[in-house]
Amino acid sequence: MRVVFTYDTEEPGLCIPALQVISRVHRRFDAPMTLFVVGELVASEEGPELKRLSRETPELYDVNSHTWSHSRLICKNPWSLPVPEPEFIHAETSRGVWAIRDRLDRPCRGFRPRSGAGCGFRGCPENLFALNASGCEWSSAYLKSAFED
């Protein structure tokens, strides 16, 4: 059996202190983790600490994008806003990916959108085009919610 630990790193002021504790646990058990990081957090004053943590034991960290600003990229009923324009989807995706590559000096092969979607990106070609254009190889978009979507 293989277990994958993933963490969404999106809240300024909260995620980095929690990640410091989580990192100690992962180092203690030599357990790899996957982080999905919002680009704005990487670009903030917390970015250097995130970079330091990911370099401390790079073999344990897989760092990927969680969009640039944590904006919703797909329509999710019953609470969703309209689907954004393709230009916004492309900018949100590529800026998040490049923030990790440029500021953390890490590869960024994966992507997780805000809130995921029960169907992944099925029926959302603009999201797939944006991922492909940014060089991402995979997406963690298929998630279930309390609304059974």
Which pLDDT belongs to residue 79? 61
Spatial CA neighbour of 67 closest among 40, 100, 93, 29: 93
Q: Could you give the CA distance from residue 68 to residue 100 in angstroms, rounded to a whole number? A: 10
| Rounded Cα–Cα distance for residues 92 and 136 (Å) | 13
Give the Cα separation of 103 and 51 in Å (integer). Answer: 8
pTM of the model: 0.88
The tens-digit pLDDT sequence of the chain (149 residues) is 677 899 999 988 899 999 999 999 999 999 999 999 999 999 999 999 999 999 988 899 999 999 999 988 876 665 666 778 889 989 999 999 999 999 999 999 999 988 766 567 777 788 888 989 999 998 887 766 555 55
- Give the residue from 11, 21, 67, 66 showing the smallest Cα distance to 44: 11
- Nearest-CA neighbor of 4 among 119, 138, 98, 134? 138
